[in-house]
């Protein structure tokens, strides 16, 4: 049965042309990354503020697919201060995971590439730009300076190796110089005890399938903390867990962060978890940051219509509403992004200016920044709401 060619489908010819072009672009980028013995001076840089552990500066990460270029991360800038937790919120597909994968250089290659921008990582005595580093050099950063806790503890552990062996491997690979096998094992047992596994000797010999979800996530956390990293990326670490286990894991993460004084980049779509964990919050929508600020800024004075909608659409225990607010429409197609504000088509608070180009970031307080035409520099969200109401009042 011949299928009617609907809009949005590509012809084979067109797709082949795109794929050929993509290959050209990615080959150049890949070649640059695969070079060996690159002098360190090429990627050494300076932190803008030495109190930050990571600075993302105008990061662009694109995926070159056969259907077109997907701008997963399109100009993202934010900082992770030393010893603080930064929460990144947004819908699935908004680029929160890709941002963190760019920092780890774990993007699906060769389609996924950092094409522009800097990721400055503070190594203590020096700073490097991860976006410019060749693959060879990044390997020394992973584990020692940046590590990651993945979303699903069920799939991120290897089912055919014992827990102990998987943990030993991490230590041997990143921190194993001058350590004997006994030392490594001692460290592994110590780590398992640190994350609250009582039967650590027993778990050392077990396979992942013998553990429950919460225990597996603890093992993943132990693995991420094995080499005392400066930055921990937690990519939805509790989404697959029950509330009671979630509470245990969050407590554990908070305590361990203080113990080894590292920073956490906490990615989730659960606003409740963010409120509990984060000092700073970054709200992402369709590859861009729409709002960022301290947790108090975001939760008590949400400014961007998307943040407001997100807060209203989550039922809260103890607050009864007849009907939940749901943000109308859906996320725009990532291949053909509009040239105006990405949220305009779903926004119920549009103003005339919204038809123009994408709004730039304005500071409505020293810590609180938002990309929306409804605000101007220095104006608080409450003040903006008041003037709007007045306008509405005179109009009606």
When the beta carbons of 4 and 36 are compared against another protein, the nearer one is 4
327 binds another protein (CB under 8 A): yes
Beta strands in 144-194 (DSSP E): 146-149
Interface stretch with another protein, choices 30-38, 54-62, 304-312, 352-360 (CB under 8 A): 304-312
Q: Is 273 in the site for another protein (CB under 8 A)?
A: yes
Centre a 10 Å sphere on the Cβ of residue 52 and count the other Cβ atoms it contains. 19
2 binds another protein (CB under 8 A): no
Chosen residue from 214, 229, 293, 334 binding another protein by CB under 8 A = 214
Q: How far is CA 353 from the centre of its chain?
A: 30
For another protein, give the closer residue by CB, 146 or 250. 250
**Binding span for another protein by CB under 8 A among 168-176, 187-195, 306-314, 348-356:** 306-314
Binding flag, residue 271, another protein (CB under 8 A): yes
Task: State CA 277 to chain mean position distance.
Answer: 15
**In the bound complex, what is the minimum distance in angstroms from residue 156's beta carbon to another protein?**
18
Answer for which of 32, 35, 46, 314 binds another protein (CB under 8 A) is 314
H/E element, 219 = helix 213-225
State the number of CA atoms in the 13 A half-sphere of 8 facing the CB: 6
Give φ, ψ of 22 to 5 degrees: -60, -40
Binding residue for another protein (CB under 8 A) from 30, 42, 66, 91? Answer: 91
Is the previous residue joined to 110 through a cis bond, with omega within 30 degrees of 0? yes
Out of 309, 334, 359, 381, name the contact with another protein by CB under 8 A. Answer: 309
CB of 317 to another protein, least distance (A): 5
Q: How far out from the chain centre does Cα 216 lie? A: 22
173-206 burial, b at 16+ Cβ within 10 Å, e below that, comes to: ebbbeeeeeeebbebbbebbebbbbeebeebbee
Q: Find the shortest distance in angstroms from Cβ 267 to another protein.
A: 14
CA 3 to chain centre: 39
Choosing from 2, 7, 323, 339, the residue that interacts with another protein (CB under 8 A) is 323
**Dihedral of the alpha carbons of 268, 273, 279, 282, in degrees to the nearest 10:** 30
Task: Give the x-and-dash track for 229-248 against another protein (CB under 8 A).
Answer: -------------xxxxxxx
**Sites of contact with another protein (CB under 8 A):** 3, 91-92, 212-215, 242-248, 250-251, 269-276, 278, 295-296, 299, 309-311, 313-318, 320-321, 323-327, 330
């Amino acid at each position: 049965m011949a299928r009617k060619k609907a809009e949005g489908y590509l012809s084979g010819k067109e797709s082949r042309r795109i794929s050929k072009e993509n290959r050209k672009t990615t080959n150049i980028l890949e070649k640059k990354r695969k070079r060996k013995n690159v002098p360190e001076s090429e990627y050494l840089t300076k932190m803008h503020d030495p109190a930050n552990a990571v600075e993302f500066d105008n990061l662009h990460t694109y995926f070159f697919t056969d259907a077109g270029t997907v701008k997963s991360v399109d100009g993202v800038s934010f900082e992770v201060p030393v010893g603080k937790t930064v929460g990144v919120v947004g819908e699935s597909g908004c680029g929160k995971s890709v941002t963190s994968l760019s920092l780890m250089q774990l993007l699906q290659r060769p389609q996924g590439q950092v094409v522009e921008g800097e990721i400055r990582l503070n190594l203590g005595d020096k700073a490097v730009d991860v976006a410019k580093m060749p693959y060879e050099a990044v390997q020394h950063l992973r584990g020692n300076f940046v590590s990651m806790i993945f979303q699903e503890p069920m799939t991120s552990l290897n089912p055919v190796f014992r827990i102990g062996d998987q943990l030993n491997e991490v230590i041997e690979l990143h921190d194993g110089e001058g350590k004997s096998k006994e030392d490594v094992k001692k460290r592994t047992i110590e780590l398992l005890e640190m994350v609250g596994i009582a039967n650590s000797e027993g778990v050392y010999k077990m396979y992942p399938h013998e553990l429950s979800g919460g225990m597996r996530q603890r093992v993943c956390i132990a693995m991420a903390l094995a080499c005392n990293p400066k930055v921990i990326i937690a990519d939805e670490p509790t989404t697959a867990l029950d509330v009671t286990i979630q509470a245990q894991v969050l407590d554990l993460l908070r305590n361990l962060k203080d113990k080894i004084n590292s920073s956490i980049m906490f990615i989730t779509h659960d606003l409740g978890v963010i409120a509990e964990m984060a000092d700073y919050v970054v709200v992402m929508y369709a590859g861009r940051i729409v709002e960022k600020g301290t947790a108090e800024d975001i939760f008590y004075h949400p400014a961007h219509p998307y943040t407001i909608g997100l807060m209203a659409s989550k039922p809260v225990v103890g607050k009864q509403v007849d009907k939940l607010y749901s943000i109308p429409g859906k996320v725009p197609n990532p291949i053909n992004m509009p040239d105006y504000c990405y949220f305009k088509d779903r926004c119920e608070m549009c103003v005339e200016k919204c038809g123009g180009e994408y709004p730039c970031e304005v500071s409505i307080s020293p810590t609180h920044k938002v990309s929306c035409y409804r605000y101007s520099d220095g104006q608080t969200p409450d003040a903006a709401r008041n003037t709007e109401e007045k306008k509405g009042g005179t109009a009606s």
